[in-house]
Amino acid sequence: QKEVEQNSGPLSVPEGAIASLNCTYSDRVSQSFFWYRQYSGKSPELIMSIYSNGDKEDGRFTAQLNKASQYVSLLIRDSQPSDSATYLCAVIGAGGTSYGKLTFGQGTILTVHP
């Protein structure tokens, strides 16, 4: 089982729609979860961090965390063509040999078409 796994995509949505990105992780004691966006040829940049169960909203972005199901998701409302990028889920390990280890999923390519 991969440590962090994302729904493979690619994902294509029309402008104005909701884009839904999903991620599962294997380390049951992890406490810190992140979504990054990466444009082609650029470095990853942080969109959202989430540490507690439930929803966290920031503008058009909502992160959802369910530690019991080991599941993190990102919703992008009113998707814009500028949201077209690769989205990376990341988790920091909290126990044993994974302590402090920041692991990324394989990424989901999102395309928002006008």
Partner 1 sequence: NAGVTQTPKFRILKIGQSMTLQCTQDMNHNYMYWYRQDPGMGLKLIYYSVGAGITDKGEVPNGYNVSRSTTEDFPLRLELAAPSQTSVYFCASSYRDTEAFFGQGTRLTVV
Phi, psi of 28 (to 5 degrees): -65, -25
Window contacting partner 1 (CB under 8 A); options: 18-26, 28-36, 54-62, 67-75: 28-36
Contact between residue 25 and residue 91 where contact means Cβ atoms under 8 Å apart: yes
52 binds partner 1 (CB under 8 A): no
If one asks whether residue 11 binds partner 1 (CB under 8 A), the answer comes out as no
Q: What single-letter amino acid sits at 51? A: Y
**Contact between residue 30 and residue 50 where contact means Cβ atoms under 8 Å apart:** no
The residue (of 7 and 49) whose beta carbon lies closer to partner 1 is 49
88 binds partner 1 (CB under 8 A): yes
Distances (CA, A) of 4 to 19, 28, 72, 90: 20, 12, 10, 7
Provide the minimum distance between the beta carbon of 53 and partner 1 in the complex, in angstroms, as a whole number: 17
Locate tokens 């395309």: which residue? Answer: 111
Q: Which stretch binds partner 1 (CB under 8 A): 15-23, 27-35, 52-60, 64-72?
A: 27-35
Task: Please state the closest distance from residue 75 (CB atom) to partner 1, in A.
Answer: 19
Angle ∠(114,45,22) on CA atoms, nearest 5: 65
| Contacting positions for partner 1 (CB under 8 A) | 31-32, 34, 43-46, 49, 88, 90, 92, 94, 97, 99-107
